[in-house]
């Protein structure tokens, strides 16, 4: 009996898995350098350095400055959000995001953020997992910037329609947490025999 040939997505998933395995030992060789905002044929990339600059100084520059101005967002408020630290224990977080519930939540998040040309869950879920684990290795904890620096793909895509869909469903932070936690639980209940 001949083994099945590996598909491109299978190879990418294996590569992402290997990268995740080494993430606790080494910093990623490739980290996000750009965040691409994507909606259908529209794509606009913002360098991660612009997010870092805003987080460090409170001053927006480049395309990020233009987007904040258009959207009416105050740079100092966005800077505070970028600097907000989640202090989570590395070992416990790693175990939790590798459970069935953690996997279901990561699949939800992967509909919104994923490597630019490979949105398949087999690749995007390990990439998010690696970004979280690598970001937690920062001495200050996990933040948006440390997540981006730990994300193992040069360009992280943000699916704007999917993001706006979640924002519309969640009128508050509590609603957002409920959206990401209750819905995957419902899916797990249905999947059981």
Helices (H), the chain: 8-23, 48-57, 62-71, 75-83, 90-96, 100-110, 121-136, 144-150, 160-169, 173-191
For residue 164, the model assigns a pLDDT of 85
Residue 141 lies in a domain: yes
Report the number of distinct structural domains present in the chain.
Answer: 1
Q: Is residue 101 in a domain?
A: yes
Instruction: Answer whether 0.85 is exceeded by the pTM.
Output: no
What does the pLDDT read at residue 56? Answer: 95
Nearest-angstrom CA–CA distance, 163 and 167:
6
Question: Is residue 11 assigned to a domain?
Answer: no
Q: Confirm whether 18 is domain-assigned.
A: no
**What percent of the chain is modeled with pLDDT above 90?**
52
Owning domain of residue 145: 30-41+85-191
């Amino acid at each position: 009996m001949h083994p099945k040939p590996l598909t491109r997505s299978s190879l990418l998933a294996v590569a992402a898995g290997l990268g995740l395995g080494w993430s606790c030992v080494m910093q990623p060789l490739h980290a996000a350098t750009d965040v691409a905002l994507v909606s259908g044929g529209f794509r606009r990339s913002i360098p991660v350095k612009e997010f870092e600059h805003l987080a460090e100084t409170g001053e927006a520059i480049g395309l990020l400055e233009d987007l904040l101005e258009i959207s009416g967002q105050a740079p100092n408020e966005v800077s505070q959000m970028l600097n907000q630290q989640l202090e989570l224990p590395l070992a416990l977080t790693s175990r939790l995001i590798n459970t069935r519930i953690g996997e279901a939540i990561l699949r939800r998040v992967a509909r919104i953020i994923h490597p630019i040309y490979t949105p398949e869950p087999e690749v995007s879920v390990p990439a998010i997992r690696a970004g979280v684990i690598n970001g937690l290795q920062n001495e200050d904890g996990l933040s948006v910037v440390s997540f981006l620096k730990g994300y193992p793909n040069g360009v992280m895509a943000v699916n704007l329609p999917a993001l706006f869909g979640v924002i519309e469903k969640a009128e508050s932070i509590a609603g957002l947490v409920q959206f990401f936690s209750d819905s995957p639980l419902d899916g797990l209940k249905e999947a059981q025999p």
